Copies of this chain bind each other. A is one copy, B any other.
């Protein structure tokens, strides 16, 4: 059973409070259908991943797209929402339930103002100061202590990703930065400065998948095979002496299904809401040995022309992080890379790609979701 990504599309990720979630989602969905050469009556089901989209967000998007009388499934798995949406769409396609499905991730964060996260999801841990920046900062401190790295090394993640994002017209930040700029930006939670934290933005991304390699009447569509998938719940962050377990487990599942290993991956989009996260996930996905990601980063292994190009889109740090939309945006980037359509940020000879997204309540044990997908040109 093969599943193909027939087309992808996204809005720019940026602060755009005047565009409703359904407007954003429909724009991305229409772009993916156009890219695939799919007419709306050829879409058998719609899967919508969103955290704050509200009741029936997928139905509202379907209506904007002029699509009705098809299954519309709304999924919420925090930041991994559209990764989970894709995994579910694959199950429907692989089971023969539908031939072709549209997956949309969407989030409108800024229209609701800065109080969003505080009012909707702040629990006891956050009230004690264990906010996301605080938690990742503690991980960064330990990582640096254990690996012998310096804050300058950590900043290199932001420098790389902002550099990549500068070549991505869909990214929120489109300007390269230096190590000095990263370290001189305001301190958020030591050692993480502001340029090491992803921006909250609005946007949507979409991918049309199918059991057919093309949309039939559209020879222009170039299907990219989705060859592996893995999904688990588990721990999002490493605990002392351990690692981000969910990433390793989901990655191993995806590698097994795809019949590939870490060394085969040419390009990867990883979940890095903060610089430290990219290093941890690179290790859990096998792109570097434990404690070695900083060294590999310094050597250029994760650059566009490195062993595995990590976050060529600019990642969450540069593209921005509209929660439920980020997982789908990763697929958009991987498909563009594997088609050779990534313009100035093209990874040379990219043939096998990987997308990794994670979400959930990271301050609680076993409360995150992680999906990994492997794609092959």
Q: Chain A: residues with CB nearer than 8 A to chain B?
A: 1, 51, 54-56, 58-60, 62-63, 68-78, 84, 87-88, 90-92, 94-97, 120-121, 231-234, 245-246, 249, 359-361, 364-369
Q: How far is the CB of A270 from chain B (nearest CB, A)?
A: 19
Work out how many copies of this chain go into the complex.
2
Residues in chain B near residue A63, CB distance under 8 A: 364-367
Docked CA distance A62–B369 (Å): 12
Residues in chain B near residue A246, CB distance under 8 A: 69
A55 touches B78 (CB 8 A): yes
Q: How far is the CB of A83 from chain B (nearest CB, A)?
A: 11
The 8 Å CB contact of A72, one of B72, B95, B233, is B233
- Select from chain B the residue with minimum beta-carbon distance to A79: B55
Residues in chain B near residue A368, CB distance under 8 A: 56, 59
A59 touches B91 (CB 8 A): no
Given contacts A68-B366, A249-B69, contact A55 B234 (CB under 8 A): no
Residues in chain B near residue A77, CB distance under 8 A: 56, 72-74
Docked CA distance A63–B368 (Å): 11
Docked CA distance A366–B97 (Å): 21
A75 touches B78 (CB 8 A): no
B68 touches A233 (CB 8 A): yes
Beyond known contacts A70-B233, A74-B77: 11 more, CB 8 A cutoff: A51-B55, A60-B361, A60-B367, A69-B246, A73-B87, A74-B75, A75-B75, A88-B88, A88-B92, A90-B95, A91-B97
The 8 Å CB contact of A84, one of B73, B87, B120, is B73
Q: How far is the CB of A195 from chain B (nearest CB, A)?
A: 27
A68 touches B121 (CB 8 A): no
- Select from chain B the residue with minimum beta-carbon distance to A48: B76
The 8 Å CB contact of A360, one of B59, B78, B249, is B59
Docked CA distance A364–B72 (Å): 15
- Select from chain B the residue with minimum beta-carbon distance to A253: B71
- Select from chain B the residue with minimum beta-carbon distance to A257: B97
7 examples of A-B residue contacts, CB within 8 angstroms: A55-B120, A55-B361, A56-B368, A71-B231, A73-B77, A91-B91, A94-B95
- Select from chain B the residue with minimum beta-carbon distance to A76: B74
B121 touches A62 (CB 8 A): no
B56 touches A367 (CB 8 A): yes
B69 touches A232 (CB 8 A): yes
- Select from chain B the residue with minimum beta-carbon distance to A50: B76
Residues in chain B near residue A84, CB distance under 8 A: 73-74
Docked CA distance A359–B88 (Å): 20
Residues in chain B near residue A68, CB distance under 8 A: 233-234, 366
Q: How far is the CB of A178 from chain B (nearest CB, A)?
A: 36
Docked CA distance A231–B71 (Å): 5
Chain B CB count within 10 A is highest, among A63, A71, A231, A365, for: A71
Residues in chain B near residue A87, CB distance under 8 A: 71, 73
B367 touches A69 (CB 8 A): no
Docked CA distance A231–B233 (Å): 27
B94 touches A59 (CB 8 A): no
Q: How far is the CB of A92 from chain B (nearest CB, A)?
A: 5
B88 touches A73 (CB 8 A): yes
Residues in chain B near residue A92, CB distance under 8 A: 88, 91, 95
Q: Which 3 A-B pairs have the closest CB atoms?
A: A95-B95, A94-B95, A68-B366
Residues in chain B near residue A90, CB distance under 8 A: 95
